Chains A and B, each alone.
Chain A
């Protein structure tokens, strides 16, 4: 399969759109969860599946256990939204949302899902809104993973190319840190490129 190439213009537009999306997400979290923090400028990388595994291993510390929430989104732009948060941050999040000293497992899982909902809805919705398309969100699922082995190469077959959009969020008062990965692959990359082309035409019209 021929690899899809992104020009500098494509990447600039995508970066700009993601900056807007990240700003949107920060504001939504402040409003809905009463947590004030910052999100880093997203990094955009085009890779193969092995590169993705390596990228995640380089980004996520290997010594912690992590709550990893994955949520699929579908439509003209489809992919996978992954939110990774250390178990310590997840407990702090449960504390914050449920206002109790010792949140139980169900509280923590639900809190993580809730934060993921807000992050995915704001970031993806904002991105797709800018690209004039609609997406459908699927039910997210969370699992605890020891270390940073998030990608199973045996299971992740059929990926030729993947776009990684990653950022980090920090809520210092609540001591909550997380990593966000937005992944899209093959045909969806072409679709994203076409949508950015349309956006560029719009901008230069």
Chain B
């Protein structure tokens, strides 16, 4: 006799998820192999018994309502699977992560034999997916927290740091609140303007060009720069400008951070300038000579000139008109010398009626030419008395020190005086 094969049950047992058939009173009619293995309750122990016997803690009122809905509508109903599992607890044996001790189940209640008030409850283990979701939620929470902190930090930066952001062509695209408040600008007032608009004309063009060049080479630039407030008040700033490179290595913007050093500059000015003529004093001149120019020229082999100028017969002016008028002469000469010099040249009051000049990037002919220009400019001054200057020029040669250069310039000046004054002599 051929044994009858129970194909539907074989099919249910072959499924990779749990399937039970229960009636409206929760009596188990079928309990598939997956459930047998994962719940440790055998088919024989479950069939004919109520689920209540084995799982007294689940919400049977809800389950009954869902079974009734399924049977009434002849359509599946579902448990929510997004939060904690609300159906039967099934142990989970995952060792490598311990977020869930029991399986997170997706539960579908489908009509089975409606006339006999039976439904099929399919349970799917979605624990891995649920774990991922929980982890993702944790990460999202962390990201949200970080965003809050980031916003807070950004707010502090915006409120307290003087920052200007420009595009690759140095047009302003963003300005911090602190910058606007500090310099008296309204929000968005500077947007779209070239960065140069905020710099005073005291900033030498060469400095600005140097800054642009450094930044275009994608290097950070730092230096001191004077910025004009909306009310045209000039304020000295320590500036750090950084090119912003995107992840593709392409320049996207520049960010400039400014720090007010006006007071420092004021003190510095007092310490480095002559109070009468407002020219650099001897201390500052020495500093420029030693640190900047000597080093640069040793490196490049470029030449430069040191020039000493002395007002001819200044003692007679003082004696004839008094020291106050003598001071006026000093101020006027200082002013004309300052305006006649080339950009990049250095001028200082050396003491008494002496001035000293540093002329970078010159040869002998050029140095004499500059000194001559200065001499003529002073000669043409229209003051209450005629004034003239004598000049001694020395040109840097390898091995020179400040002392040797000064000695030669002094000797040249002496020669100019000897030769009748109002002259330029080179040694």
Q: In whole angstroms, what is the CA distance A31 to B72 when docked?
A: 9
> B75, A142: Cβ atoms under 8 Å?
no
Which of A110, A114, A139, A143 contacts B108, CB < 8 Å? A139
Interface residue tally on B, bucketed by range? 20 to 34
**Is B81 close to A, CB under 8 A?**
yes
Q: In whole angstroms, what is the CA distance A33 to B81 when docked?
A: 21
Q: In whole angstroms, what is the CA distance A38 to B65 when docked?
A: 21
Question: How close is B59's CB to chain A, nearest CB, in angstroms?
Answer: 8
**Is A97 close to B, CB under 8 A?**
yes
Q: A117-B77, A117-B78, A121-B75 are in contact. Are A105 and B69 (CB under 8 A)?
A: no
Residues of B within 8 A of A140 (CB): 78
Q: In whole angstroms, what is the CA distance A121 to B68 when docked?
A: 13
**Is B414 close to A, CB under 8 A?**
no
> B76, A109: Cβ atoms under 8 Å?
no
Pick out which of these stretches binds chain A: B82-90, B222-230, B317-325, B388-396: B82-90
**Is A113 close to B, CB under 8 A?**
yes
Q: Which of B43-92 contact A (CB under 8 A)?
A: 59, 61-62, 65-66, 68-69, 72-84, 86
Residues of B within 8 A of A33 (CB): 65
**Is A141 close to B, CB under 8 A?**
yes
Question: How close is A180's CB to chain B, nearest CB, in angstroms?
Answer: 16
> B65, A97: Cβ atoms under 8 Å?
yes
Q: A28-B73, A114-B69, A139-B108 are in contact. Are A105 and B79 (CB under 8 A)?
A: no
> B73, A125: Cβ atoms under 8 Å?
yes
> B79, A113: Cβ atoms under 8 Å?
yes
A/B pair count, beta carbons within 8 Å: 63
> A106, B86: Cβ atoms under 8 Å?
yes
Q: In whole angstroms, what is the CA distance A125 to B74 when docked?
A: 9
- Minimum CB distance partner of B81 in chain A: A139
Q: A106-B84, A139-B108 are in contact. Are A98 and B62 (CB under 8 A)?
A: yes
Which of B61, B65, B74, B80 contacts A32, CB < 8 Å? B65
**Is B214 close to A, CB under 8 A?**
no
> B75, A109: Cβ atoms under 8 Å?
no
**Is A86 close to B, CB under 8 A?**
no
> A114, B81: Cβ atoms under 8 Å?
no
Residues of A within 8 A of B66 (CB): 114, 117
> B83, A105: Cβ atoms under 8 Å?
yes
Residues of A within 8 A of B86 (CB): 106, 110
> B68, A32: Cβ atoms under 8 Å?
yes
**Is B106 close to A, CB under 8 A?**
yes
Q: In whole angstroms, what is the CA distance A117 to B71 when docked?
A: 13
> A32, B79: Cβ atoms under 8 Å?
no
Q: In whole angstroms, what is the CA distance A121 to B86 when docked?
A: 22
Residues of A within 8 A of B62 (CB): 97-98, 110, 114
**Is A92 close to B, CB under 8 A?**
no
Residues of B within 8 A of A122 (CB): 73
Residues of A within 8 A of B83 (CB): 105-106, 109
Residues of A within 8 A of B65 (CB): 32-33, 97, 114
> A137, B75: Cβ atoms under 8 Å?
yes
Question: How close is A70's CB to chain B, nearest CB, in angstroms?
Answer: 12
> B73, A121: Cβ atoms under 8 Å?
yes
> B82, A32: Cβ atoms under 8 Å?
no
Residues of A within 8 A of B106 (CB): 139
Question: How close is A73's CB to chain B, nearest CB, in angstroms?
Answer: 10
Q: In whole angstroms, what is the CA distance A121 to B69 when docked?
A: 10
| Contact flags A86-129 to B (C-beta < 8 A → 1, else 0) | 00000000000110000001100110111001100110010000
Question: How close is B369's CB to chain A, nearest CB, in angstroms?
Answer: 70
The chain B residues found within 8 Å of chain A, CB to CB, are: 59, 61-62, 65-66, 68-69, 72-84, 86, 106, 108
**9 closest A-B pairs by CB:** A121-B75, A109-B80, A106-B83, A121-B73, A113-B80, A117-B77, A110-B80, A32-B69, A106-B84
10 A/B residue pairs, CB under 8 Å, sorted by A: A32-B72, A97-B62, A98-B61, A110-B79, A117-B66, A117-B76, A117-B78, A121-B76, A121-B77, A137-B75
